[in-house]
Amino acid sequence: MATAVDRTRSFIKDVKRVIIKVGTAVVTRHDGRLALGRLGSLCEQVKELNTLGYELIIVTSGAVGVGRQRLKYRKLVNSSFADLQKPQIELDGKACAAVGQSGLMAVYDMLFTQLDVSSSQLLVTDSDFENPNFRERLCETVESLVDLKVVPVFNENDAISTRKAPYEDSSGIFWDNDSLAGLLAIELKADLLVLLSDVDGLYSGPPSEPQSKIIHTYIKEKHHNEITFGDKSRVGRGGMTAKVKAAFVASNSGTPVIIASGFTPQSIVRVLQGEKIGTLFHKDASLWEPSKDVSVREMALSARECSRRLQSLSSDERKRILLDVADALESNEDLIRTENEADVAAAQDAGYEKSLIARLTLKPGKIASLAKSIRTLANMEDPINQILKRTEVAEDLILEKTSCPLGVLLIVFESRPDALVQIASLAIRSGNGLLLKGGKEAMRSNAILHKVITGAIPDNVGERLIGLVTSRDEIADLLKLDDVIDLVIPRGSNKLVSQIKSSTKIPVLGHADGICHVYIDKSADMNMAKQIVMDSKIDYPAACNAMETLLVHKDLIKAPGLEDILLSLKTEGVAIYGGPVAHEVLCIPKADSLHHEYSSMACTIEFVDGVQAAIDHIHRYGSAHTDCIVTTDDKVAETFLRQVDSAAVFRNASTRFSDGARFGLGAEVGISTGRIHARGPVGVEGLLTTRWIMRGSGQVVSGDKGVAYTHKNLPLQ
């Protein structure tokens, strides 16, 4: 079940026994009633992990809260109007615990029974643990239960607690369910303790404050005096202070602890997949390499400062930088190709997919092509400080809408070293700072390209305009920098783009899928159709603008031209799969899905009733990237061009034209299938925003009484 495991969570692969502590704030809603949705999600995760062979033990809070809710309702029902006028006495906590415990366990039992999981209840008190025989018997009981795949559910037996004030007293062997969970982790020799909270983990301050930052790995020497705790739990006895104390004790005794959100879907599963979520407490944490968050932040801040220096240069000076970059790439082509070939060889030895290796490879002529696109970009009109609109707001009060850089860009990419060059040149042209985080498979290629490009940036701007993140920081760390990074551009697999879009507050520009269609209409010139289909599929099968599905009008099923197209595809080595109709008609293997991006020498074919059916198919199974119609019928063509809701729609042209350089943008940062900010191949304009500049002569608003608004459009200057 593991994905890419963060280095700080590498111990996860050896974890078998896990204790999960569920806090009152997770178990209950704000009104005190049980949060059945969260409990259901918790039980489903336990079921999944139980099936995978993990030994799960739960420590739960919530009995007092459930009991208080029940007793308040019962008291209200049995009270007279006169009783309600009297001051209400706080309900006894022990009575609440006694009443609520059975109700809490009934819910656990019901939920687990629905999932075909057996659970058991174990109530303990502080004084129980004073008896060594009790500890021994407890361990034996738990061992028997987990051997039978039964989930033990622990809770403190507050109803008979020996402490006088169990809800305030923090003395004894344990004093709340957080410290109980820590104690059990030690007693039961757990491999991991997960403390579920109502926040994402331990923050440097109250999570509600903007300046507070999550701490992924707690190091006492570094963080102890930096943390400011907020209020205690809204309903329980603990809060983050109690969790940190329990985590510190358990981790020092050898059980790693992760504080994570019980509100986030699949949080326990994600912890056991090795994802860097929540806050980790580990006895060896102080020996690990210090967190790079600060250095990455400094890189982003430096990039912003350098970008402001870049913006202060003249248009010609910025153009000169790009021309120098193009020259530097060509001068160092041999060195760049040597490093790239080393990456490709390593990727092949590691058994990477052919599509990734294709994206990784800088083919002959690629450096020259990149240099040419950079020179084209340099010779384009300066995109920044352009006046887009001029308005006379009032007499001698002129407002201008101007173009300006976004600020700092982050590109996260797998393989694709050419993407580094394209986006670096676009960042320079548009006056933006840039952070680059590439995959390890392109490490040498990225390093040499970054060195060559930054070496061409003059000192009065600074080479830190473009930062290459070469540390072992995870993408998740970079995506937390929403206060210093303005746009994320992912370039890579569907999985990479989808993960980034779901993991950051920073705006993301990109697309997850490139499921491009070519539709051959019944009026198509079949020779033209063959040329377009072959180019769309085999020119560069790994590209996101390659054809993945061929749609054909049903009247062409027996057309010789179609047979010729299919034979040509097969001759070139393209594997052809059929949709429901084509599978039967052509007797070819059935496609597993009509929404599939092969990124290789394979495609799907399906027959449709006509242009409207083709449009409906594209809307249902496509990815709004690039779609093409081959037809000689103008009316059919216009229907297709106007109704297909994709970022790029073509008539009688290969889908491979969907590219920034081919569109005349000089280069592209990527292709966006979103509708906000930018769409289709995105060049310089996609890296710009606007700034309003007003020039007045002493005007004031003064309740709008002293201004005679004219709002006249003025010519651009």
- The residue to which tokens 């415990």 are assigned: 101
**β-pair type (487-491, 575-578):** unpaired
Contact 547, 516 (CB under 8 A): yes
Burial status of residue 81 (CB atoms within 10 A of its CB: 0-12, 13-18, 19 or more): exposed
pLDDT at 68: 77
- Across 361-384, average pLDDT: 92
- Higher-confidence residue of 494 and 433: namely 433
Distance CA 330, CA 369 (A): 10
Q: Rounded mean pLDDT of the chain?
A: 86
Contact 618, 647 (CB under 8 A): no
Q: Is the pLDDT of residue 293 over 70?
A: no
Q: Is the pLDDT of residue 474 over 70?
A: no
Q: Is the pLDDT of residue 143 over 90?
A: yes
Q: Is the pLDDT of residue 85 over 60?
A: no
- The residue to which tokens 């507070």 are assigned: 212
pTM above 0.85, yes or no: no
pLDDT at 100: 81
Q: Work out the pLDDT band at 235, boundaries 50, 70, 90.
A: very low
pLDDT at 548: 97
Q: Work out the pLDDT band at 287, boundaries 50, 70, 90.
A: confident
**Phi, psi at 152, each rounded to 5°:** -70, 135
Q: Work out the pLDDT band at 292, boundaries 50, 70, 90.
A: very low
Q: Is the pLDDT of residue 212 over 60?
A: yes
Percent of the chain with pLDDT over 90: 55
pLDDT at 563: 95
Q: Is the pLDDT of residue 369 over 50?
A: yes
**Phi, psi at 403, each rounded to 5°:** -85, 145
Least confident of 78-82, 136-140, 652-656: 78-82
Distance CA 586, CA 144 (A): 59
Q: Is the pLDDT of residue 404 over 90?
A: yes
The helix or strand, by DSSP H or E, that contains position 419, with its residue range, turns out to be helix 417-430
Q: Is the pLDDT of residue 482 over 70?
A: yes
Distance CA 170, CA 239 (A): 13
CB-based contacts of 377: which residues, under 8 Å, 6+ apart? 322, 425, 426, 429, 666, 667, 684
Percent of the chain with pLDDT over 70: 89
pLDDT at 232: 45
Residue 482's CB: how many other CB atoms inside 10 A?
Answer: 12
What is the length of the chain? Answer: 717
Rounded to 10 deg, the angle between the 417-430 and 315-331 helix axes is: 160
Select, from the ranges 225-229, 353-357, 449-453, 668-672, the one with the highest average predicted confidence (pLDDT): 449-453
Q: Work out the pLDDT band at 87, boundaries 50, 70, 90.
A: low
Residue 390's CB: how many other CB atoms inside 10 A?
Answer: 17
Contact 204, 228 (CB under 8 A): yes
Select, from the ranges 82-96, 139-153, 410-424, the one with the highest average predicted confidence (pLDDT): 139-153
Least confident of 391-405, 455-469, 504-518: 504-518
pLDDT at 620: 96
Residue 76's CB: how many other CB atoms inside 10 A?
Answer: 10
- Across 253-273, average pLDDT: 92
Q: Is the pLDDT of residue 571 over 90?
A: yes
- Across 592-612, average pLDDT: 95
- Higher-confidence residue of 166 and 61: namely 61
- Across 17-28, average pLDDT: 90
Distances (CA, A) of 501 to 59, 196, 434, 475, 656: 34, 25, 19, 12, 25
**β-pair type (257-261, 279-281):** antiparallel
The helix or strand, by DSSP H or E, that contains position 467, with its residue range, turns out to be strand 466-468
- pLDDT (tens digit per residue) in 412-436: 887 889 989 988 999 999 999 999 9
- Across 71-80, average pLDDT: 60
- pLDDT (tens digit per residue) in 669-690: 778 877 777 887 887 888 889 9
- The residue to which tokens 């039992």 are assigned: 109
- Higher-confidence residue of 635 and 234: namely 635
Closest-CA residue to 200 (of 113, 270, 135): 270
Contact 602, 576 (CB under 8 A): yes
Distance CA 310, CA 457 (A): 10
Q: Is the pLDDT of residue 233 over 50?
A: no
Give me Rg for the CA atoms of the chain.
32
Rounded to 10 deg, the angle between the 443-455 and 333-349 helix axes is: 160
pLDDT at 171: 55
pLDDT at 98: 82
Q: Is the pLDDT of residue 138 over 90?
A: yes
- Each residue of 689-705: b (16+ CB within 10 Å) or e? eeeeeeeeeeeeeeeee
